[in-house]
Amino acid sequence: MERVVSTRVLFWLWLPLALSFTLMMMESPATNAILSRFPDSATHLAGFGAALGLSLLIESPVIMLLATAIALVQGRESFLALMRFVLLLISGLTLLTALIAFTPLYDAIAFHLMGLPPAVGEAGRSAMRVMLLWTALIGWRRFLQGVLVRYGGARFVTWGTAIRLVSILTVGLALLWWNRLPGAIVGALMVMTGVFVEAVVTTLFAYPVLRERVLTVHEESPTLTLRAIWRFHLPLALTTLLTLLVHPITASALARMPEPEITLASWTVVFGSLLIVRSWGMALQEAAVAALQQGVSMETLRRFTLWVALGTSGFLAAVGFTPLLTLFTDRVLALAPELKPVRYGVLLCLLLPAFTAIGSTLRGVLILRKQTPVIYRGMALNLLVNTGLLFAGAWLAGDWSQHGAYVGLTVGTLAFQVAALAEIAYLGVHLARRVPVGETVS
């Protein structure tokens, strides 16, 4: 009976986060489906994908603010200290975005470092300028979402993400009907509208919780300092930075493959579409932290993670080997005929959702145990393996040029998965030495 209760607690902590992640990840295929209906869709899909990759890289230090808020906010003093930290962080990252988007630094990154084709790079420049406040809005939203989850308001995170998706679709369909703007700019306007609306509604949802349960609680423990917050958050920020470095590094490698524009556009669609299935595993990181804080056992967490891993990879296989995949790519996304390699890329990634679930749980346990440097080292290994395989593949791609975009997708998807498996092995070996089976972490 105790095991059933423990599983039920974990499930209801995980489900709202999983739904929120799923709604958030639906943003990418929804955007791709709309952009694919604009003229010169391959170029603008690739350009928007490049801009999004750079923007994600810049925002990487704020992604883990949700986990940091869950772990550190205990009352008024810690909340205000963390809020000061967040405001300083997002101000600096917004300045960095402006420097890249509005100066020749963009040329150095997009054309010389990443090697993007000229048309793709210019489309990406316009999109990135529209996304100037992207990081600031996401940072503020992630901070308050962490407070909501910490105080039992995970369902409001789901509601906020649902409202964000509706706003994205509304703007996208309106701009598609108007049909006066380039596709890459439309994509940028869609995602910017989404993050702005979600930041506003998250603030409204968080206000009663802050007023009644956070700002009224005065802590007896020493007040958090900016240095202490930074020391806790830095390894998490570096981990996300390394995670998101994968996107521009992958784009750089794929730009050197046969048929670079088709390869880049196909990769953008494959990666974005897989995020929907992977989102159920991604939610395990924050769910693991909250569940272990409430006394859920490691044995229960391991078993639940296995269910999520098998369920998500099984679902992707069921879609991939049936007409559902063709229905999704041809009818829902309305992909141009030259983007047919997308279906092949999805089939190569059947194990990726399972890897995502396992890795997320391992990181959640380490966050709770305040062993965040281990997470950073694991992601560094991931990036090293991925980069090495990508550029080895780019070097060998010339011998297989007759296969066109299929070459780049093979290299990109396999490198991503092998690197994820290497990270899981590192984190798993580390925890196996420290967390015996059945132990409850508190």
Q: Tell me the per-residue pLDDT of 419-440, one tens digit each, with 9 for 90 and over.
A: 999 999 999 998 887 544 344 4
For the chain, what percentages of helix, strand and coil (3-state, to nearest 5) are there? 85, 0, 15
Please give the Cα distance from 184 to 268 (Å, whole number).
13
Residue carrying structure tokens 């604009």: 38
The encoded tokens of residue 24 equal 């958030």
Q: In which band, very low, low, confident or very high, does the pLDDT at 401 lie, cut at 50, 70 and 90?
A: low
Can you give the pLDDT at residue 437? 38
**36 or 370, higher pLDDT:** 36
The arithmetic mean of pLDDT across residues 306-311, rounded, is 96
Can you give the pLDDT at residue 3? 60
The arithmetic mean of pLDDT across residues 90-104, rounded, is 97
pTM assigned to the model: 0.74
Percentage with pLDDT > 70 across the chain: 95
Please give the Cα distance from 234 to 243 (Å, whole number).
14
Q: Give the angle subtended at the CA of 415 by the CAs of 401 and 434, to the nearest 5°.
A: 170
For the ranges 27-31, 114-118, 282-286, the lowest mean pLDDT is seen at 27-31
Top mean pLDDT of 132-146, 219-233, 273-287, 392-406 is at 132-146
Top mean pLDDT of 8-22, 134-148, 241-255 is at 134-148
What are the pLDDT digits (tens) for 216-226? 998 877 778 89
Residue extents of the structural domains in the chain: 2-432
pLDDT at 169 over 60: yes
pLDDT at 10 over 90: no
Please give the Cα distance from 214 to 147 (Å, whole number).
9
pLDDT at 305 over 90: yes
Q: What is the DSSP letter of 244?
A: H
The arithmetic mean of pLDDT across residues 365-385, rounded, is 87
Can you give the pLDDT at residue 155? 85
Please give the Cα distance from 215 to 303 (Å, whole number).
37
pLDDT at 107 over 50: yes
Can you give the pLDDT at residue 428? 92
Can you give the pLDDT at residue 127? 96
**Please, what's the largest Cα pairwise distance for the chain?**
68
Q: In which band, very low, low, confident or very high, does the pLDDT at 442 lie, cut at 50, 70 and 90?
A: very low
Please give the Cα distance from 393 to 164 (Å, whole number).
38
3-state secondary structure of 230: helix
What are the pLDDT digits (tens) for 334-370? 887 778 888 899 999 999 999 999 999 999 999 888 7
- Residue 50 makes CB contacts below 8 A (sequence gap 6+) with 110, 114, 116, 120, 121, 123, 124, 248, 251, 264
The type of residue at 376 is: Y
Residue carrying structure tokens 């440097």: 373
Can you give the pLDDT at residue 379? 87
Neighbours of 323 (CB within 10 A): 9
Q: What is the DSSP letter of 180?
A: -
The arithmetic mean of pLDDT across residues 35-55, rounded, is 88
What are the pLDDT digits (tens) for 110-143? 998 888 889 999 999 999 999 999 999 999 999 9
Q: Give the angle subtended at the CA of 389 by the CAs of 387 and 391, to the nearest 5°.
A: 70
Can you give the pLDDT at residue 21? 82
Top mean pLDDT of 33-42, 136-145, 292-301, 424-433 is at 136-145
What's the mean per-residue pLDDT of the chain? Answer: 88
pLDDT at 259 over 90: no
Please give the Cα distance from 184 to 242 (Å, whole number).
25
Can you give the pLDDT at residue 341? 86
Please give the Cα distance from 72 to 70 (Å, whole number).
6
pLDDT at 213 over 70: yes
Can you give the pLDDT at residue 434? 58
The arithmetic mean of pLDDT across residues 238-264, rounded, is 81
The type of residue at 134 is: W
pLDDT at 441 over 50: no
pLDDT at 403 over 90: no
Q: What is the DSSP letter of 116?
A: -
**442 or 174, higher pLDDT:** 174
153, 145, 18: which is closest to 69 by C-alpha?
145
The type of residue at 167 is: S
For the ranges 117-121, 168-172, 211-215, 340-344, the lowest mean pLDDT is seen at 340-344
